[in-house]
Structure formats: structure tokens, C-alpha cells
């Protein structure tokens, strides 16, 4: 069955239709109109799967998608132009140009935490670059998976964009097919499986993975503002965000003040009774809620800590070490452990000693500290004096490094990711430089020595 879908896509791609810019622009517009037509069903599905209220679902998923489509439509023509560059002296009078071309059919494997955005944002880039695509939404967000299948069937024929619903077995079947590119968002464990499957057929991959993203707060930070922005970053989607601030590294001198401010921000955002707040999202399933509850067994709870079904209170934790389970895995829930540091270099050493994070946040008013952290630590991306928002810019690429992934997308970075660039040298037929041809001689060598160094 997967073979049939892909064969039809390969035939459609070979027809050349997707290469036309007019076709791509129209496809983006069709998707935009589809999203608007299906808005109610999509927002309802996000509520059913994750308890997301309309505002949060619109701000973090649907609105981001519509913005990305608008941005791509506006810039597509410019991105699709050949990138011309001057030839070096020894190559003259040639001209050089890089021609973007679509790969063919792209497989997009999506996670459950932003089940709409993380399935369709890569699709926007794949379409802009002229590819066909097969989407495999996450089975752990079934309502959104069905809503995406209905949306795509309403917009496109499966020979262009198809949706395969299902679990790991469906992914495994798809990974056996000869796709031209694989775009995966998910955890490190499955990322390795995907990369191994891709390697068997030498298929290029982009892996958007996760990890523990640190958040540093130093003694010069505006603590009330930092607390608000950290709390917002942690509580959005109840902490089930790949770029959520996973844990805090706080300068000892401001820890108590920051804790007070964080507790106030948690109350302001999730209310006095978060477990019954209809706008506060739930954990994706019982197994994950149970896992999160287990992480509360070590350390001291400074606020929160209660669970009711799939809801868990915003929780601050203290008194932890790197050996505790909560510090050994990506938390992916509304739990925020606080570690303290005395010297910035100690905090930086702790971060550098661990796998490279997807995001890093630093709250400080000191420019030298900002430069030091940005200059010395490796991480996918991040913010100075904020959380999450770097993901929202269509003008910057987004992706991980090391254990947090490889490859970047969003806006033009997506266009580049989903394109192969053919490097072509256009040579003159009027002039033919004899120096390159045998028989070689001392005089040819001496010319080369002058023009090539
Ligand atoms: P996951 O790795 O469990 O699943 C992702 C996708 O892979 C799903 O479609 C799933 O069906 C499929 N899959 C599961 N097992 C598979 C297998 N054995 N073989 C092939 N495919 C398989 O991830 P998840 O739990 O859905 O998402 C959470 C993880 O994703 C977290 O680690 C989070 O940090 C990460 N994440 C990263 C980003 C990013 O942009 N970098 C965004 C969101 C989530």
C-alpha cells in the first residue's frame, strides 16, 4: 500500500507539475484556504487531544502555520531563483550558478505535542520547494491525526500530498520505501531508528529532536519579568514543548526572590486551581502523567505537585542533583527543577558537559555575560531574556545540534532544506584557456602558481 502511494507520487513528480512556481504558490494558497475552512475542526481536535484552549492552539499552531504560508508565498519567487556567484580568476570567463530543485517525495513523521504545526509546517516548506509529500501524524494525538487527514484529502490528491495514519508499524513500513527525503520530529530514540532506516537507502534526513534545554538566570536579571517569561515557556502546552525551559540554573543570590516570582506567575497563568482550569492543557496520556508524577519523588516541592488524571499542577522543585531521574531525562511536563550556581563558569560547565540542548535561555542585563554564553555554549537556538519565541520567527532557521538534531527549517531555511542545489559552471565557448591541457610545462606551472594561490 505504501509502495503504491509513493509510486503514484513519483509519477506525479516526474510529470514536472510541482516544479512550476505558479503550481507551488497555488498549492500553498489551497492549504491556507483549507486551514481556514477546517479551523473549527482542527481547534476542536487539539482540544480533544491535549486540552488546548482556542487561544493557545491558535497562537502556537494554526496562527504559526498561516504566518508561515504567507511568508513563503511572498518570498518564494526570490528563493527559487538561481544563486549566481562570480567565478574565480582561474575559471574565467566562466559564470557560476546554483539551481535549486525539489528532491521528489518527502516523508514527514510528526510527534504528538504540537500535532498540527509539526506535521504541516514541514509540509509548507516541502511544497514551496516543489516536492510531493507523505505525512504520518502521531497516533498519540488521534483526533488531530484524523483532522489532518480530512484537511489534506480536502486540499490535495494523494499523488501530491498523502496522509498515512498509524503508529510505529506504519512509520516502519513507510521507512522501507525509497523516499527522496525524510523529515522527522520526535525523540532521540526513534530519531536513531529513522536515521538507520534512511542510511540503508542513503536517503537524506532532517532530525528535529529534543533534550533538556537549560535556562540561566543571573543576578542582574529583571526577576519579575524573567519569572513571567519562564513560567509562560514552561506552562505553554503544560510543558510538553520541545523548546520548553527544562530546568533553571539560578545565581544563588537571587534564587529565593525568583522562586517567589515564579510561584506568583504560575498562579497568575494557571489560576489558584489549575487542575480544574479549562484553559490549562492536560498531559497527552495516562502513561506520561504517571511518568511525570514519578519524577516528583525526589527533591523538595516548592509549589504544586498534585496530579488529577491527566492534569498536573505547575510545580517548582528544589534540592535536586544531576543523579535524580528528573535531571536525567527530558521532563516534557509542567515541572521546573531549580539548581543554583555561584560562578557563571560553573553553570556553563554543567551545560557543556551534557548533550547539546535544542534551546538555551539566558536572563541577564549584562552584555558581557550574554556574549560569553552565546560565544561559548553550543545549542540549537534560544533567547536572551525570553523563552520559546525564537521559534516563532519565519526569518530564522530552527533546528538542533548534536543530540538535539540535525538540519534546520522554517521560512527560507525550509526551502533550502527541501531543495537540492545543482552547482553549475557556465563556460564560454569563445575562449579556451590552454594552460589546463597537457602536455604540461614549467611555464604552465608558473602561470598556475601565480593565479591559483
Ligand atoms: P516519538 O519519537 O515517540 O514519535 C515521533 C514519531 O515517530 C511518531 O509519528 C511516531 O508514530 C513515530 N514512531 C514511534 N516509534 C517509532 C519507531 N519505532 N519507528 C519509526 N517511527 C516511530 O516522539 P513523540 O513522543 O511523539 O514526541 C516527543 C519528542 O519529540 C520529545 O523528545 C520532543 O523533544 C521531541 N520534539 C522535538 C521537536 C523539534 O522541533 N525539535 C518538536 C516537538 C517534539
- The pLDDT tens digits for 134-173 are 999 999 999 999 999 999 999 999 999 999 999 999 999 9
Closest of 180, 170, 181, 179 to residue 136, by C-alpha: 170
* Cβ(164) – ligand 1 distance below 6 Å: no
Q: Is 216 helix (H, G, I), strand (E, B) or coil?
A: strand
pLDDT of 186 reads: 98
Burial of 16 (0-12, 13-18, 19+ CB in 10 A): exposed
Question: Mean of the per-residue pLDDT values for the chain?
Answer: 97
pLDDT in tens, 272-307: 999 999 999 999 999 999 999 999 999 999 999 999
Regarding the beta carbon of 122 and ligand 1, being less than 6 Å apart is answered no
72 bridge partner residues: none
pLDDT for 329 equals 97
Alpha-carbon distances, residue 3 vs 10, 179, 203, 204, 252 (angstroms):
10, 10, 16, 19, 58
The pLDDT assigned to 413 comes to 98
> Is the preceding omega at residue 267 within 30 degrees of 0, hence cis?
no
Quickly state the pLDDT bin for 94 (edges 50, 70, 90).
very high
Q: What are the catalytic residues?
A: 208, 242
Among the atoms of ligand 1, which is closest to the Cα of residue 191?
2
Q: Residue 414 and residue 153: Cα distance in Å, rounded?
A: 23
In this structure, which residue's CA is closest to atom 40 in ligand 1? 208
Cis check for the bond before 93: say yes or no (omega within 30 of 0): yes
Contacts of 171 (CB under 8 A, 6+ apart): 109, 136, 190, 194
Mention every residue, 6+ apart, whose C-beta is less than 8 A from residue 219.
251, 253, 254
Identify the pLDDT of residue 306. Answer: 97
Using CA atoms of 111, 112, 114, 118 in order, give the dihedral in degrees to the nearest 10. 30
- With cut-offs at 50, 70 and 90, classify the pLDDT of residue 39: very high
d(CA 261, CA 363): 14
CA–centroid distance, 440 to ligand 1, in Å, is 58
Above pLDDT 90, what percent of the chain?
Answer: 98
What is the C-alpha to C-alpha distance for residues 209 and 191, in angstroms, rounded to an integer?
A: 7
Residue 400 CA: nearest ligand 1 atom is: 41
The stretches of 107-248 forming alpha helices (DSSP H) are 117-128, 142-155, 168-175, 188-200, 223-235
56 close to 287: Cβ distance less than 8 angstroms: no
CA of 110 to the centre of ligand 1 (A): 6
The model's confidence at residue 248, banded by pLDDT at 50, 70 and 90, is very high
Q: How far apart are the first and last CA of the chain?
A: 57
Measured in Å, residue 442 CA sits from the centre of ligand 1 at 61
Which long-range CB contacts under 8 A does 327-330 form with residues at least 24 apart? 327/212, 327/247, 329/212, 330/187, 330/210, 330/211, 330/212, 330/246
Sign of the dihedral through C-alpha 21, 24, 26, 29: negative
Model confidence pLDDT, tens digit, residues 47-85: 999 999 999 999 999 999 999 999 999 999 999 999 999
**Ligand 1: residue whose CA is nearest its atom 15:** 168
CA pair distance 151, 171, nearest whole angstrom: 20
Nearest by Cα to 156 from 7, 32, 58: 32
Q: For residue 165, how far is its CA from the centre of ligand 1 (angstroms)?
A: 14
CB atoms within 10 A of CB 155: 18
CA nearest to 325, candidates 282, 352, 292? 292
Angstrom distance (rounded) from CA 312 to CA 289: 7
C-alpha span between 29 and 89 (Å, rounded): 45
- Report the relative pairing of strands 214-217 and 359-363 from DSSP bridges: parallel
Given the DSSP bridges, would you call strands 315-318 and 300-303 parallel, antiparallel or unpaired?
antiparallel
Q: Tell me which long-range contacts 150-155 makes (C-beta under 8 A, separation of at least 24).
A: 150/38, 150/41, 151/34, 151/35, 151/38, 151/41, 151/42, 152/34, 154/34, 154/37, 154/38, 155/30, 155/31, 155/33, 155/34
Q: Which three cell numbers stand for residue 304?
A: 504544586
State residue 427's pLDDT score: 96
C-alpha 86/C-alpha 327 separation (Å) is 51
* Cα–Cα distance measured from residue 195 to residue 183, given in angstroms and rounded to the nearest whole number: 10
* Separation between Cα atoms, residue 324 and residue 351, nearest integer Å: 16
For ligand 1, atom 1, the nearest C-alpha belongs to 186
Q: What is the pLDDT of residue 231?
A: 98
Amino acid at each position: 500500500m505504501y509502495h503504491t502511494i509513493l509510486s503514484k507520487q513519483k509519477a506525479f513528480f516526474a510529470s514536472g507539475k510541482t516544479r512550476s512556481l505558479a503550481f507551488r504558490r497555488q498549492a500553498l494558497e489551497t492549504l491556507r484556504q483549507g486551514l481556514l475552512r477546517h479551523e473549527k475542526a482542527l481547534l476542536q481536535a487539539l482540544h480533544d487531544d491535549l486540552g488546548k484552549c482556542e487561544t493557545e492552539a491558535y497562537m502556537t499552531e494554526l496562527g504559526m502555520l498561516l504566518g508561515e504560508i504567507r511568508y513563503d508565498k511572498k518570498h518564494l519567487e526570490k528563493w527559487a531563483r538561481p544563486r549566481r556567484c562570480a567565478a574565480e580568476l582561474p575559471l574565467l570567463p566562466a559564470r557560476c550558478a546554483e539551481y535549486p530543485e525539489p528532491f521528489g517525495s518527502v516523508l514527514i513523521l510528526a510527534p504528538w505535542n504540537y500535532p498540527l504545526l509539526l506535521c504541516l509546517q514541514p509540509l509548507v516548506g516541502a511544497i514551496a520547494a516543489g516536492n510531493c509529500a507523505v505525512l504520518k501524524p502521531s497516533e498519540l494525538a488521534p483526533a488531530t491525526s484524523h483532522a489532518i487527514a480530512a484537511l489534506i484529502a480536502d486540499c490535495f490528491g494523494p499523488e501530491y500530498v498523502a496522509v498515512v495514519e498509524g503508529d510505529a508499524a506504519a512509520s516502519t513500513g513507510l521507512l522501507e520505501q525509497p523516499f527522496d527525503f525524510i523529515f522527522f520530529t520526535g525523540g532521540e530514540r526513534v530519531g536513531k531508528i529513522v536515521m538507520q532506516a534512511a542510511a540503508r537507502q542513503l536517503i537524506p534526513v532532517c532530525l528535529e529532536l529534543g533534550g533538556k534545554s537549560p535556562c540561566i538566570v543571573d543576578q542582574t536579571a529583571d526577576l519579575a519579568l524573567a519569572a513571567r517569561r519562564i513560567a509562560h515557556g514552561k506552562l505553554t502546552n503544560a510543558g510538553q514543548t520541545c523548546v520548553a525551559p527544562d530546568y533553571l540554573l539560578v545565581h544563588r543570590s537571587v534564587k529565593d526572590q525568583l522562586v517567589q516570582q515564579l510561584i506568583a506567575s504560575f498562579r497568575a497563568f494557571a489560576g489558584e486551581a489549575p487542575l480544574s482550569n479549562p484553559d490549562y492543557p492536560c498531559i497527552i496520556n495516562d502513561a506520561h502523567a504517571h511518568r511525570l508524577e514519578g519524577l516528583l519523588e525526589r527533591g523538595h516541592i516548592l509549589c504544586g505537585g498534585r496530579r488529577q488524571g491527566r492534569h498536573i499542577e505547575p510545580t517548582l522543585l528544589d534540592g535536586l542533583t544531576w543523579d535524580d531521574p528528573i535531571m536525567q531525562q527530558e521532563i516534557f511536563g509542567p515541572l521546573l527543577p531549580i539548581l543554583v550556581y555561584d560562578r557563571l563558569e560553573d553553570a556553563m560547565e554543567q551545560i557543556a558537559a551534557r548533550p547539546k540542548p535544542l534551546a538555551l535561555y539566558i536572563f541577564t542585563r549584562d552584555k558581557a555575560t550574554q556574549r560569553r554564553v552565546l560565544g561559548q555554549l553550543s545549542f540549537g537556538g534560544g533567547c536572551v531574556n525570553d523563552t520559546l519565541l525564537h521559534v516563532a520567527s519565519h526569518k530564522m532557521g530552527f533546528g538542533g545540534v548534536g543530540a538535539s538534531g540535525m538540519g534546520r527549517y522554517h521560512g527560507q531555511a525550509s526551502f533550502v532544506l527541501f531543495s537540492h542545489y545543482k552547482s553549475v559552471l557556465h563556460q564560454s565557448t569563445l575562449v579556451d584557456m590552454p594552460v589546463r591541457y597537457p602536455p604540461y610545462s614549467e611555464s604552465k606551472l608558473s602561470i598556475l602558481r601565480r593565479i591559483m594561490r
